[in-house]
Copies of this chain bind each other. A is one copy, B any other.
Amino acid sequence: MKQDQAALFTEIVLKVFRLNGCFLATGDKLVQPLELTSAKWQVMGAVALAGEPLTAPHIAEAMGITRQGVQKQVNALVASGIMVLQQNPDHKRSPRIALSEKGKQLYDQVDDLNSNWSQSMAEGLSNEALQVTLQTLEIIHSRLLKQQ
């Protein structure tokens, strides 16, 4: 039975790999009309969710990726006028990054697309099943963080 659980765990790992690819592909398609990508709206989402401008390292921490990965997307988003840099009184080198007006409007549209899609995807899945799934993934995630 210990065997069974380990085997189940391995299948979950493989499923996560597949789902990651599918989610990114679907996300890219979803925001393609807005000329965005999954990577870009995730950065926008981190700032939108925080409700206040964040520095690049803060965004990276919130997203669980490296600051350099974030920096690339931020630079591109600033170049295209979706995000803006605000002087940071606490740090000369590290500006606060915010959504521009254009960025906010764009993100509202992303939010709409996402909420429609999420509702259609969650259709017919029980609250319990979703809760158990999320909770299990959270436990696994926290173990991984401790372990490394």
Using a CB–CB distance below 8 Å, which chain A residues touch chain B? 1-2, 4-13, 15-23, 25-26, 29, 42, 64-65, 114-115, 118-119, 121-122, 125, 127, 129-141, 143-145, 147-148
Contact of A19 among B1, B21, B131, B141 (CB under 8 A): B141
Contacting A9 at CB < 8 Å: which of B11, B22, B130?
B130
Q: Find chain B residues with CB under 8 A from A143 CB.
A: 121
Closest Cβ–Cβ distance, residue A21 to chain B (whole Å): 6
Main secondary structure, interface of A, reads: helix
With contact pairs A16-B19, A20-B20, A21-B64 given, residues A9 and B122 touching in the complex (Cβ less than 8 Å): yes
Give the complex CA separation of A144 and B132 in angstroms: 21
